Structure 1
Amino acid sequence: MSRDPPNPSSPPRGGSPARQPLGPLDTLRCPSCLLLLWEPVTVSCGHSFCKPCLGGAVPSRCPLCQERLKLLGVEAARCNVVLCGLLEKCVERESRLAWLVTRVRDRLGRGDAREALRMAQKGVELAPDSSSLRLCRAEAFAALGQHPQALEDLDAVCRAEPGQHEGFFRKGKVLLEMGQRAEALLAWEHCLTLSPHFHPARREMEKILMQKDAPQPRTAAARQGDAHRGSTGPQADGGSPALPSSSAQAQDQEGEPVDGRGDAGSEHGQGTATLSEPGRRQEPETSAERQDQWLVDNEEETAAAKCTQLCLGELLSISDLECSLCIRMFFEPVTTPCGHTFCKECLERCLDHRPNCPLCKQSLREYLKAGSYSPTVLLQDIMLATFPAQLAERRELHRAEMAELSNLTKNIPIFVCTMSFPGIACPLHVFEPRYRLMIRRCQETGTRRFGMCIYENGKSFADYGCMLEIRQIELLPDGRSLVDTIGRRRFRVLSRGHRDGYNTADIEYLEDKKVAGEELQELQCLHESTYRLAQRFCEHGDLASRHIFMQHGPLPEKEEDIQASADGPTWCWWLISILPLDPSYQLNLFSTTSLRARLTQLQRILAALLQQPPARHPLPERSPRGRV
């Protein structure tokens, strides 16, 4: 079979592999080596690479986005299970093996024989009958100086493909490295029998025959006997082929195309051979040798590029891109350090209950501690390319869910815990899975608000509560969080419900009744007198009360317009929050929509407290972190 000579501008061996056309499968390329992904690993930033491209350890930064990378609880990078499944389904077995051969040769060309051997061994395990992979493994063994293992693989190739000359040529190279020159000559003689115009075998034989005490081809054959000839196949004229004369060889080089596969697999780099022991001086390659190597490379890469040209949509189904937790198409797919992929929200909800992978139970404590779940970019690209309509529906469904969660009057989330008041800080320690989910949703929707109510017998929570706004969240390594909130508006519960384990409610907001004229003047006088009593109370307090003031801050300044806020002056709520009142009495003050009634009640309470010695009525110490 005749082939065109190589293009002089072709890249040399040992460099980066040429980008081969994959057509619709171009999405499945590794962004580092530009070849079809092999053992795909998704790093912490969300990008996916071939495992060999990342090297023995995950690099400190992503080769694409330069983000810092971490293994997060695993000793070594794990393959992405979903991507491995997609590759197996999209790429035929022969194409995958051809790409693997190309990868192994690329590793050998870079001098990474150990990684090449690891890849070749895995390939042979997957396809024990693949002669190409056995040839690659033999070459890796030889590069590492493990010649008996290399010879074993080459013998298997020669038995499996007795009509192919490449196995015999490489067998001769290994035998020569082992010092068995006569046996090497026999292997090359048989190689030339199968392919008379295969120049690398002629050159190797010439090198040996020009040495002193070199065994002659026919003499070597005679020493081996008929048994060896029987194992290697019939030879021309019943013996070894004679080496061609220099004129005939020149004629062959000028007029005959190179036939068969060359020794490219056994020689890498520019002008050096790799089937030699470390430290041994290498002989430079001739232009003919480089031509032979290029032809082999071109043949292998062309075979590797013959992937199916069907579009991914015809190769994949929705079930290939489903989350194993919600059984729906992935939405914001994230890949754990153990290699499993889930929807971001599904994984977060699982980690709320237990810091382990839902499938393999691998500990994800470090992953949870990092608190950063980057979507798997390649899976998002595949879904967009294959099922754009279904992905749009999935996004619309998520958008509708977020819109429903963003409604601040219908089905608002309710945190059943403690009394909270408008304008007053309410620190929370959140650890229950249902409330962790609730707080996360408040963040995702952008409202950053939820309702706070106290427990009430027979109703699950009271009829009145306060809307809290999240100001800051401090995430703890185990998934708990310290949430700094502040009260905004009061509300009344109209109906109760549940959502994913936490309480919800339909509400209406409360607003103090407005007054004018003489009523407003009387209200202002009442406001002034009550505020003065509050100032006296703060100055009159003992050590315990002063400690509370240090935690809650000083008494807020009084507002000029006492009806500016729908909930009345903030200092009233500050005072109610620190007074030693029963929660039911606090709730009574909280629910009234009359500022006059609220001020009157506060005035009576303050007057009673100021008439008694401070020591007899110490205020209970309340920690800002005590509301759990």
Structure 2
Amino acid sequence: MLQVAEEAFRGGNFELAAEIYGSELAGLPQPERGLCLRRADALARAGRMAEALDAYGAAARLARLRPEELRELAESVALSIRDKELRLPPWGGGGGAEGEGLGDPACCRPPELFACPLCRRLLCEPVTLHCGHTHCRRCAEPGDCGRCHRPRRPAEPAPAPAAAPPPAARPRVNVVLGNLLHKWFGAESRARRLRAEGDALRERQELPAALEKYNQALEMAPCKCSLIAQRAELCTLMKNYQQALHDADILCRNKPHWPAGHYVKAKALSGLERTEEALKEFLYCVALNPEWSSMKKEAQKIMCEMFFPAFENVHDSLTAPFSSRTSHTRLKPAFLSSINTQSAVEDNSVAGSSKDTMFRLTKTPSQESDVFRSTDSSVTHHVLDLYFDDNKKSLGAILSSLPGVGLKRKLSSDMRDLQSLDVPSKILKKDGDVLPENTTDTSSEIPTTLVDASDFECSLCMRLFYEPVTTPCGHTFCLKCLERCLDHNPLCPLCKEKLSEFLASRTYKKTVLTEELIVRYLPEELSERKKVYEEEMKELSNLNKDVPIFVCTMAFPTIPCPLHVFEPRYRLMIRRCMETGTKQFGMCLADELKGFADHGCILEIRDVKFFPDGRSVVDTVGVRRFRVLSHGQRDGYNTANIEYLEDKKVEGPEYEELVRLHDSVYDQAVAWFTSLKDNMKVQILNHFGSMPGKEPEPQSNPSGPAWYWWLLAVLPLENRAQLAILAMTSLKDRLIAIRRVLIFVTRKRPR
């Protein structure tokens, strides 16, 4: 049966669970504490509060109750308050973390774009992390990003064991975003900064100085709710509970559904030892967010002390009056006197009415002493019962009907008790008792008059930011502009701070917030800027016109050509080849008159490895030959208009003759390579790889067979001779030329 009861409890059939537990208890010679607690939990969940409290009392008679054993009671009371007093819809979840409900109310929240991912408040001294997300400076200092949860800095190699780790540099403010905040949110930004300074002082335990900062922030903040809540918390820390209560009362009257107001009020009331009123506020917190675990624990603790004092193992034979055991409780004398005094509070104007909102206590002291002796006696027959009947009394009625909670106080269904608190004679600031109704809604759109494209202008290209990137020193540039500057010098173009570490990572992340602001507020300008960029990329992608030329050495189709790039102009050229997606550029020999030769080979980039100082090793392979039509330059590197070369194909007898010549020269090449000394062969193989095999169809490739180009690269020929062969469009002529070279090097080889 107990298993059935547990299943009924889990299934939400609390009435059935309570009946089964009650039946099981009735059949036992002595009450079992665990069953008493489970029955009490089921009764509480079923809304039968008076019976539930009797059941909890029976458990307390067997052994002292612990606050965690009143979890179901606290939740049940709070959920009923949510339904009947606050008239809020059933709780649908959504909380969970410690501190739920302490977030700022809607009127104090900044636009989503300008909210820090960690503190959710207006960005204060915005800092852009390595990942591209922006936080408040104080939020960014601990390390991880609040959005992508990546480290604030890129991964670095571990230092040697003997070396001390360098101190982490304090992140720098993003200059562009900082200026925008001051321009678009003048008062809010100043108040936010004062608040942040107050937070820092509070962490250093300089509480009076922190209070002064909060007061200054309150003078200029358009919305004061969250600031008043924070000041109330600080006053509680300073043990100035009256001021904290004054601030909290203002919040509760004006933001009755904001949990933070009730939280600070509960803490202030606790400091003033007004325990019963503190319980009411803790229950409000749980009612507004049933997943607020810390508030639930506070309510459970107070309930445990109020309803079930520390009487352990009270036997049936014990007849001492309740009042004689006051030394075992931690409740206030006022509470004990109220519960031991026969009270009858009655309002003549509503006497005899079934909807009477007055509380009446009729038990005698002798009856009170029986509370912990029998589960049938009702210590709290009136406790909370008024609230859970069809009359749906107010929260004040519930708590006033608890033992010792305002027994002689007239209840109100319109929360007049929230407005009747004593206001301290000395108020720190002239906030007034009511918050301004027409507070500035910071969630609205930014006025178009404040949006200026010049605020988003790159200081290098003097155009709208395109793919904005922020350096560790806080300056923002277009990604391509910054990369071009770092090609020449690893210093910030504006402040000249060293950016070697930033350059070494080569993982420039766009500043997300800056880009989002441009997309939202400058869509037309961004469209024009994007059009210009795409036209540039299209022009750079043309592999016939203005093709970038690397003037260095000979390159051949199908042959790898590793390059060490260190000149700024070629860094730019290689990066552009990668950005356009072509990954191709031309390679030509230098020419004293023209700058570079009239023939060359297109290289395709297979991989690029960057070094911390900006240098790189580029792995390329030859693709096809070309002839230069005209020479040019772009941004410091050479360009050319070109046409591609292809071999002239032959047929019939000429083709048969070509095949015989091809096979003959191939065999001759293999014989020559085989005859080389081992050390020379090893060097060739390490640099150029193995010789490609003979192709069955020599004209299948427009540039001829791969083994031929391998052999031409390996043979000890001058570059000019290699260039002349590269320019030939007749495979037969090239085969004849290479055969002559093979005959020459074979004869010249020392015997």
Q: TM-score range by the shorter chain?
A: 0.5 to 0.7
Length-normalised TM-score, structure 2: 0.57
Counterparts of 1:58-137 in structure 2 under 5 Å?
A: 58-59=143-144, 62-70=145-153, 75-93=169-187, 95-100=188-193, 112=203
Matched, 1:41 2:127: yes
Instruction: Tell me, in whole angstroms, the C-alpha distance in 1 between the residues paired with 2:115 and 2:672.
Output: 73
- Alpha-carbon separation, structure 2, partners of 1:375 and 1:566: 43
> Residue 609 of structure 1: CA displacement?
1.4
SS of 1:537's equivalent in the other structure is helix
Counterpart residue identity of residue 44, structure 1: H
Q: 2:499 aligns with which of 358, 364, 384?
A: 364
Corresponding residue SS for 1:455: strand
Matching of residue 555 in structure 1 with residue 641 in structure 2: no
In the alignment, which residue of structure 2 is the partner of 1:220?
none
Contact persistence 2:190–2:217 (CA under 8 A)? no
Superposed, 1:127-166 pairs within 5 Å as none
Q: Hey, what does 2:721 align to over in structure 1?
A: 585
Cα offset for 1:547? 2.9
Task: Measure how far apart 1:35 and its partner are.
Answer: 1.7
Alignment partners' CA distance in 2, 1:481 and 1:596? 39
TM-score, normalised to structure 1, is 0.68
Is 1:490–2:658 an aligned residue pair? Answer: no
| 1:299 Cα deviation from its structure 2 partner | 3.7
Tell me, yes or no, if structure 1 residue 546 matches structure 2 residue 681.
yes
Partner of 1:435, secondary structure, is: helix
11-20 or 398-407: bigger deviation: 11-20
Contact 1:429–1:482 (Cα < 8 Å) also in 2: yes
Gaps of 5+ in 1: 1-5, 151-164, 171-199, 207-246, 267-292, 616-628
Separation in 1 of the partners of 2:128 and 2:137?
A: 9
> Is the partner of 1:463 in helix, strand or coil?
strand
Match of residue 429 from structure 1: 564
Aligned match of 1:602 in 703, 714, 738?
738
Which residue matches 1:193? Answer: none
What is the correspondence of 1:186-335 to structure 2 with a 5 Å cutoff? 299=435, 305-307=440-442, 309=444, 311-335=446-470
Matching of residue 400 in structure 1 with residue 535 in structure 2: yes
Q: Name the CA distance, whole Å, in 1 between partners of 2:586 and 2:641.
A: 11
8 Å CA contact 1:472–1:483 kept in 2: the answer is yes
For the 8 Å contact 1:58–1:77, the answer to whether it is kept is: no
Structure 1 residues 228-282: Cα deviation after superposition (integer angstroms, max 9, x where no partner): xxxxxxxxxxxxxxxxxxx99999985965697999999xxxxxxxxxxxxxxxx
What SS does structure 2 have at the residue aligned with 1:454? strand
Could you tell me how far apart the structure 1 residues matched to 2:206 and 2:129 are? 20
Q: CA deviation at 1:472?
A: 1.1
Distance 1:438 1:303, change over 3 A: farther
Report if aligned partners of 1:24, 1:310 keep a CA contact under 8 Å in 2: no
Residue-by-residue CA offset, 1:148-181 (whole Å, 9 max, x unaligned): xx9xxxxxxxxxxxxxx979x99xxxxxxxxxxx
The aligned amino acid for 1:41 is: V
Whole-Å separation in 2 of the counterparts to 1:478 and 1:65: 28
Structure 2: distance between partners of 1:82 and 1:49: 14
Contact 2:693 2:707 in 1 (8 A): yes
Pair 1:13–1:436, CA change in 2 (3 A) = closer
Superposition deviation, residue 513 in structure 1: 0.8
Q: Does 1:411 align with 2:555?
A: no
8 Å Cα contact 1:422-1:486 kept in structure 2: yes
Contact 1:530 1:603 in 2 (8 A): yes
Q: SS at 1:351's partner residue?
A: helix
Residues in 1 aligned to 2:469 and 2:424: alpha-carbon distance in whole angstroms: 45
* Kept after mapping to 2: 8 A contact 1:102/1:304: no
Map Cα deviations across residues 69-105 of structure 1 (whole Å, 9 max, x no partner): 3168961222211110110110132x33444566678
Q: Distance in 2 between matches of 1:501 and 1:261?
A: 75
- Give yes or no for the alignment of 1:51 onto 2:141: no
Q: Distance in 1 between matches of 2:695 and 2:495?
A: 59
Distance 1:80 1:589 in 2: 57
SS of residue matched to 1:573: helix
Stretches of structure 2 lacking an aligned partner (at least 5 in a row): 1-84, 89-94, 156-165, 248-267, 275-407
Q: CA deviation at 1:410?
A: 0.6
* CA radius of gyration, larger in: 2
Deviation at 1:483? Answer: 0.7
1:346 to 1:22, Cα distance in 2 relative to 1, 3 A: farther
User: 1:457-606 counterparts in 2 under 5 A?
Assistant: 457-551=592-686, 552-606=688-742
CA 1:250–1:436: 2 relative to 1, 3 Å: same
Residues 435, 363 of structure 1: CA spacing in aligned structure 2 closer, same or farther, 3 A cutoff?
same
> Judging changes above 3 Å, is the alpha-carbon distance between structure 1 residues 600 and 121 closer, same or farther for their aligned structure 2 residues?
farther
Shift of 1:63: 2.2
Task: Indicate whether 1:18 and 2:100 are aligned.
Answer: no
8 Å contact 1:24–1:311 — kept in the other structure? no
Q: How many residues align?
A: 491
Tell me the SS of whatever aligns to 1:461.
strand
CA 1:311 to 1:596, structure 2 compared with 1: closer, same or farther past 3 Å?
Answer: same
The 3-state SS of whatever aligns with 1:488 is strand
Distance 1:439 1:402, change over 3 A: same
From the superposition, tell whether residues 365 and 478 of structure 1 become closer, same or farther in structure 2 (CA, over 3 Å).
same
SS at the partner of 1:506?
strand
The one-letter code of the counterpart of 2:147 is: L
Aligned-partner residue type, residue 127 of structure 2: V
| Contact 2:191-2:218 at 8 Å conserved across structures | no
Following superposition, the deviation at residue 204 of structure 1 comes to 7.8
CA shift, 1:525, in A, is 1.1
CA RMSD of aligned residues (A): 4.6
Query: Match of 1:586, SS?
Result: helix
Q: CA deviation at 1:359?
A: 1.3
The answer on whether the counterparts of 2:540 and 2:547 sit within 8 Å (CA) in structure 1 is yes
1:33 Cα shift? Answer: 2.3
Counterpart CA distance in 2 for 1:115 and 1:8 is 42
1:383 aligns with 2:476: no
Deviations for 1:46-73, whole angstroms, at most 9, x for unmatched residues? 111122223x4222xx321233431689
Q: For 1:264-311, what per-residue CA distance to the aligned partner results, in whole angstroms no more than 9, with x for missing partners?
A: 999xxxxxxxxxxxxxxxxxxxxxxxxxx9x98x949x7874549563
Distance of 1:137 and 1:255 partners within structure 2: 20
- Summarize deviations over 1:565-584 as a string: whole Å, max 9, x none: 11111111111111111111
Q: Distance in 2 between matches of 1:23 and 1:488?
A: 59
Which moved further from structure 2: 316-325 or 256-265?
256-265
Contact 2:107 2:442 in 1 (8 A): no
Contact 2:609 2:618 in 1 (8 A): yes
Offset, 1:36: 1.3
Superposition deviation, residue 543 in structure 1: 4.3
Deviation of 1:515 after TM superposition, in Å, equals 0.6
- Report the alpha carbon displacement of residue 534 of structure 1 after superposing the two structures with TM: 0.4
Distance 1:136 1:107, change over 3 A: farther
Cα distance, 1:595 vs. partner?
0.9
Counterpart position of 1:349: 484
Provide the secondary structure at the position in 2 that maps to 1:611.
Answer: helix
Aligned counterparts of 1:329 and 1:67: Cα–Cα separation in 2: 29
Give the partner amino acid of 2:487: D
User: Distance in 2 between the 1:609 and 1:533 partners?
Assistant: 12
